[in-house]
Amino acid sequence: MSSVQSFIKQPSEVLKKALSFAGSATIVELVDVAAVKRGLVAGSADLTVAGELVGGMIFVTLIGGTDGERYLITGKGETGEGEQLEAELEVAVIDGAWTMPDGGDGYLSIAEFVATIGLDEAVRLTDLAGDGRIDRAYLVSALAAVQTIADAWIGARYAVPLATPPAVVKTAIADLVRARLYTRGAPDAIDAAGKAAQKLLEQIGAGRLPLPGIEAPEAAASIAPVVVSLGTRRYPDGLAGY
């Protein structure tokens, strides 16, 4: 059996993945596919899974699932020599959307953050209950706090919140949140990445690093001073003698 591959999916997303069999064997017959939930969320829904054989590979289509739950997908196929092989795929269902406390979308979704640092590390850093899953509220609080700080730096130059945050801002937020979640001190490389992200956002706010595709508000046009020229006062000829 090959090593287990791990992926994340949104509850509403229809995800299609290829199963990886040991030795890159060519499968000639689909024997079975099944999904088993780990039971991390009480009352979680089953994950619907369907398999198909295409070009000697088994693809599984995954539908549904409950936020916070993880599912183990198992696929069985038969080679031309009659050997049955098995492959596994683990899927973590994560609702990636969240909003700021005062309204507005988050720049970096939960799913994007997890994809950036990896599922295992994301769980390790946020699993306050010790039940093997991401503490959504805890992670959202960290994302919101860092976004507020990022807006404070960027806002010196650009109108915030950004309608469409560019990748450079998302990456900086991911690095800062990751370092922040290490409450007892981040490893040197992660700490350095967080400090570099802070410096980058400060440079954006100072105008030394423009955001791609986003226009900075123009500085207020300077008002030209009114120049008063002192001249000779003229009177009608009838007053010339006064």
Please state the domain extents for the chain: 5-93, 110-205
Q: Taking residues 114-129, what's their average pLDDT?
A: 94
Q: What is the pLDDT of residues 169-185, one digit of tens each?
A: 999 999 999 999 999 99
Q: Collapse the DSSP code of 164 into the 3-class scheme (helix H, G, I; strand E, B; otherwise coil) and give the result.
A: coil
Could you tell me which of 38, 163, 37, 180 has the C-alpha nearest to residue 113? 180
Tokens of 148: 């507020």
Q: What is the pLDDT of residue 2?
A: 46
Q: What is the pLDDT of residue 23?
A: 73
Q: Taking residues 17-32, what's their average pLDDT?
A: 88
Quick check: 160 pLDDT over 70? yes
Q: Taking residues 65-72, what's their average pLDDT?
A: 95
For residue 44, CA distances in Å to 57, 70, 127 come to: 30, 10, 18
Residues 6+ apart with CB under 8 A from 164: 213, 214
pTM across the whole model = 0.79
Q: What is the pLDDT of residue 3?
A: 58
Q: What is the pLDDT of residue 36?
A: 97
Tell me 45's DSSP state.
P
CA-CA-CA-CA torsion sign (8, 11, 17, 23): positive
Would you identify the CATH topology of the domain 5-93?
Immunoglobulin-like (2.60.40)
Quick check: 71 pLDDT over 90? yes
Kindly report the average pLDDT of the chain as a whole number: 88
Q: What is the pLDDT of residue 218?
A: 64
Q: Taking residues 91-103, what's their average pLDDT?
A: 93
Integer-rounded Cα Rg, in Å, for the chain is 30
Residues 6+ apart with CB under 8 A from 23: none
Tokens of 117: 């640092």
Q: What is the pLDDT of residues 136-158, one digit of tens each?
A: 999 999 999 999 999 999 999 99
Q: What is the pLDDT of residues 182-228, one digit of tens each?
A: 999 999 999 999 999 999 999 999 999 999 888 887 643 334 444 54
Quick check: 69 pLDDT over 50? yes
User: What is the C-alpha end-to-end distance of the chain, expressed in Å?
Assistant: 117
